[in-house]
Amino acid sequence: MAKLYRLLTEEDTSAFCHKVSDALAKGWELHGDPSYAYDAANSVMRCAQAVTKDVAADYSPDMKLGQQ
């Protein structure tokens, strides 16, 4: 059994909400609070949300976390 970790990031648009919602629908769980920061290079706000998931497999750096 392995606990997987992902940090989802995106501009502060509905795309971020869809990315998090998709992860939740695939069994990932929220881990901590979301974060927001201003991206001065692109003049946009960016969001981040950590998610975790327990899987019945040994962890490998070759895992495609988005497909788990």
Map out the domains of the chain as residue ranges: 2-57
| pTM of the shown model | 0.87
Mean pLDDT value across the chain = 93
Res 58: pLDDT: 83
For 2-57, the fitting CATH number among 3.30.70, 3.30.2250, 3.40.50, 3.30.1490 is 3.30.1490
The pLDDT of residue 59 is 85
For residue 37, the cross-strand partners are 46
Taking only the tens place, the pLDDT of each residue in 16-47 is 999 999 999 999 999 999 999 999 999 999 99
Beta-carbon count within 10 A of 29 CB? 11
CA distance 3 to 22: 18
